[in-house]
DNA sequence: TTTAGTATTTTGGTCAACCAGTTTTTTGGG
DNA sequence: CCCAAAAAACTGGTTGACCAAAATACTAAA
């Protein structure tokens, strides 16, 4: 054992990270709502007593993970947690080798199976209400014949939340937008099956409420059946 | 349907993204090896005919995903794909809510089960050789009583590669370092069980070579047993 | 009073110069 | 010839000034 082994790496929080933390705090606390504009870079730099470069770097970091979006010559806005916000995060992380659609779907199925089973076993009343709410919004959009990808997305995300596994939730958040994007581009979803999809969502929710993990997984697989088949064709 | 609906968003590749792509190309092509130093920011900016700011931004992006590391006043080096390179990526992405260890392990078990089963069914001869190689390096380190976390990490990563699912591989790449970090800090791995771990690794590899998905999954669960138990205690 | 046009201010984007460490080269004493 | 110390060159870090586009305030005509 060398002497050097006794020294631990000193945690240095860079100025940028401090700023990142402050901005996040403002968002989490609700002081900054989705859609709000951040104060200008100059104002922030003056207020926080640091150079504008640090502010810009902090914004870039938050933009990279999808929390902020900068509009040139206009301002920086706070994103909501929806498809647009997270789109491409996986692509960013996976720049080296672009994900193929089959891998994407295969991974999704694995996660959804796990996620819905745990949700059935662990869900709280609040979770159920949140899923129900997402389902209602989805149904409302479909009835009006409006695009409902975002609402569909939220339904599955709420289930992941109900699984009480924060990592699974984050991974779903990363992977789902990339899949949805392909759905929309290639029109995988058959227009005529909208009502069938609603029924499937309802079956899944019912199984979760009943606490029936097996049933929940079964219904989820049924729900994902079309996508699985489609990904096999593309392969 | 409004008129505006007919217009698609125009894909604009920013100067920064172009530079990112070029640097990645140099790394993928093998011209830049792990450990190599990048040309200086000034040289790059001159060569590519863009301002140094763009170069710096591109480097920051690649640094964020763990491909590069900048040494202040010295240079920028290319990272290898190992723990140090990827450490904290998940933490970066998940800044909003820090992952708890239990979720981390639970997710890992789900992915490893899937990964090892697919590896057993889909592995090529090259994959087997790569896994065998990783195992040999692991054994060599253990025999010399050196820390072998990195080699352990590579063994599991090679299995994920053999599953032929690029998304799973990336997710393992994201999640494993965060788990390993906790292992090392808290000394989860019992020193005395090193030989047992080698045997387990060997069993897993054998099942993969035999193409026996059930056996492979079984051995993997056995291998992860200690960690699962530990994460329950911490809970 | 409304509104179209204009001037001003504010915004993020970009650049070039300078700073403080690191690395390499040069140098001079042994 | 060797090698330590000084000097030069080079590195990423930081700053402030300037740019063009966007947002705002203002003005004058209808």
pLDDT tens string, chain A, 235 residues long: the values are: 443 344 444 445 677 888 888 887 787 677 887 788 999 999 999 888 899 999 999 888 888 777 788 888 999 988 765 433 344 444 455 443 456 888 889 999 999 999 999 999 999 999 999 999 999 999 998 888 887 877 888 899 899 999 999 889 888 877 876 777 777 666 655 666 788 889 999 999 999 999 999 999 999 999 998 888 887 876 6
pLDDT category at B32 given cuts 50, 70, 90 is confident
CA dihedral A209, A211, A215, A219 (to 10 degrees): 40
Residue-wise pLDDT tens digits, B42-91: 999 998 889 999 999 988 888 877 778 888 889 998 876 543 334 444 44
The span from the CA of B45 to the CA of A159, in Å, is 48
Beta-carbon separation of B57 and A60 below 8 A? yes
Q: Measured between alpha carbons, how far is residue A154 from residues A4, A22, B13, B209, B220 in Å?
A: 50, 27, 29, 41, 33
Which among B159, B148, B174 is positioned nearest to B207, based on CA atoms?
A: B159
Chain segment B5-22, per-residue pLDDT in tens: 334 344 456 778 888 888
Rounded distance, CA A95 to CA A142, Å?
35
- Please list, in sequence order, all residues whose beta carbon lies within 8 angstroms of the beta carbon of residue A169, skipping any fewer than 6 positions away: A157, A160, A161, A163
More confident residue, A39 or B96: A39
**Backbone phi and psi for residue B112, each to the nearest 5 degrees, phi listed first:** -65, -40
| Whether the Cβ atoms of residue A197 and residue A205 lie closer than 8 Å to each other | no
Chain A CA closest to residue B92: A65
Cα B138–chain centre separation: 17
Which residues of A lie inside 8 Å of B (Cβ-Cβ)? 20, 24, 28, 57, 60-61, 64-65, 89-90, 92-97, 99-100, 103-104, 106-107, 110-111, 114, 164-168, 170-171, 174-175
Assess contact for B215 and B117: CB atoms under 8 A.
Answer: no
Which residues of B have a CB under 8 Å from any CB of A?
Answer: 20, 24, 28, 57, 60-61, 64-65, 67, 89-90, 92-97, 99-100, 103-104, 106-107, 110-111, 114, 164-168, 170-171, 174-175
The reply to whether residue B175 touches residue A168, judged by beta carbons under 8 angstroms, is no
Handedness of CA A210, A211, A215, A221 (dihedral sign): positive
Binned at pLDDT 50, 70 and 90, residue B190 comes out as low
Tell me if B174 and A93 make a contact (CB, 8 A cut-off): yes
d(CA B222, CA B216): 10
Give the residue from chain A lying closest to B93, CA to CA: A65
User: What is the pairing mode between strands A75-78 and A68-71?
Assistant: antiparallel
CB A95 within 8 A of CB B20: yes
d(CA A25, CA A47): 16
- B55 and B62 in contact (C-beta within 8 Å)? no
- Give the phi and the psi of residue B91 in degrees, each rounded to 5: -60, -40
pLDDT of B155 higher than 70? yes
Banded model confidence at residue B204, pLDDT cuts 50, 70, 90: very high
Secondary structure (DSSP) of chain A: --GGGGPPPP----HHHHHHHHHHHHHHTTSS-TTPBPPPHHHHHHHHTS-HHHHHHHHHHHHHTTSEEEETTTEEEEPPSSHHHHTTHHHHHTTTSPPPHHHHHHHHHHHHHHHHHHHHHH--HHHHHHHHHHHHHHHHHHHTT---HHHHHHHHHHHHHHTT-HHHHHHHHHHHHHHHHHHHHHT-S-GGGHHHHHHHHHHHHHHHHHT-HHHHHHHHHHHHHHHHHHHHHH-
Burial class (CB in 10 A: 0-12, 13-18, 19+), A221: middle
CB B87 within 8 A of CB B42: no
> How far is the C-alpha of A107 from the C-alpha of B115, rounded, in Å?
10
* Closest to A68 in 3D by CA, of A91, A34, A21: A34
Q: How far is CA B30 from CA A210, B27, B33, B94, B223, in A?
A: 55, 5, 6, 31, 35
Does pTM top 0.85 for this prediction?
A: no
- The CA distance from B203 to the nearest CA of chain A, in Å, is 24
Place of tokens 């994959």: B127
Q: How far is CA B98 from the centre of its chain?
A: 19
Cβ-based contacts of B60 with chain A (< 8 Å): 57, 60
Residue matched to tokens 């994900």? A99
Instruction: Examine the pLDDT at B188 and tell me if it is beyond 90.
Output: no
Interchain CB contacts (distance < 8 Å): A and B: 84
Q: What is the pLDDT of residue B212?
A: 96
CA B143 centroid distance within chain: 25
> Is the shortest CB-to-strand distance from A75 to strand C under 7 Å?
yes
> CA A207, A213, A215, A219 torsion: positive or negative?
positive
């Amino acid at each position: 054992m060398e002497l050097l082994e006794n020294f631990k790496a000193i945690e240095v929080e860079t100025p940028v990270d401090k700023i990142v933390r402050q901005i996040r705090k403002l968002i989490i606390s609700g002081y900054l709502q989705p859609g709000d504009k951040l104060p200008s870079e100059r104002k922030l730099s003056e207020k926080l007593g640091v150079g504008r470069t640090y502010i810009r770097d902090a914004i870039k970091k938050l933009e990279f993970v999808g929390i902020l979006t900068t509009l040139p010559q206009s301002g920086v806005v706070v994103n909501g947690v929806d498809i647009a916000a997270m789109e491409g995060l996986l692509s960013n992380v996976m720049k080296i080798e672009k994900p193929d659609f089959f891998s994407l779907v295969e991974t999704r199925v694995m996660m959804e199976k796990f996620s819905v089973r745990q949700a059935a076993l662990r869900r709280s009343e609040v979770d159920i209400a949140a899923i129900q709410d997402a389902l209602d919004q989805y149904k409302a959009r479909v009835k009006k014949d409006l695009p409902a990808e975002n609402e569909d997305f939220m339904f599955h995300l709420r289930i992941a939340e109900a699984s009480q596994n924060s990592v699974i939730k984050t991974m779903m958040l990363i992977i789902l937008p990339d899949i949805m994007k392909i759905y929309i581009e290639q029109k995988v979803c058959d227009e005529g099956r909208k009502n069938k999809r609603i029924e499937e969502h309802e079956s899944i929710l019912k199984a979760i409420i009943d606490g029936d993990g097996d049933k929940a997984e079964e219904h989820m697989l049924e729900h994902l059946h079309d996508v699985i088949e489609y990904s096999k064709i593309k392969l």
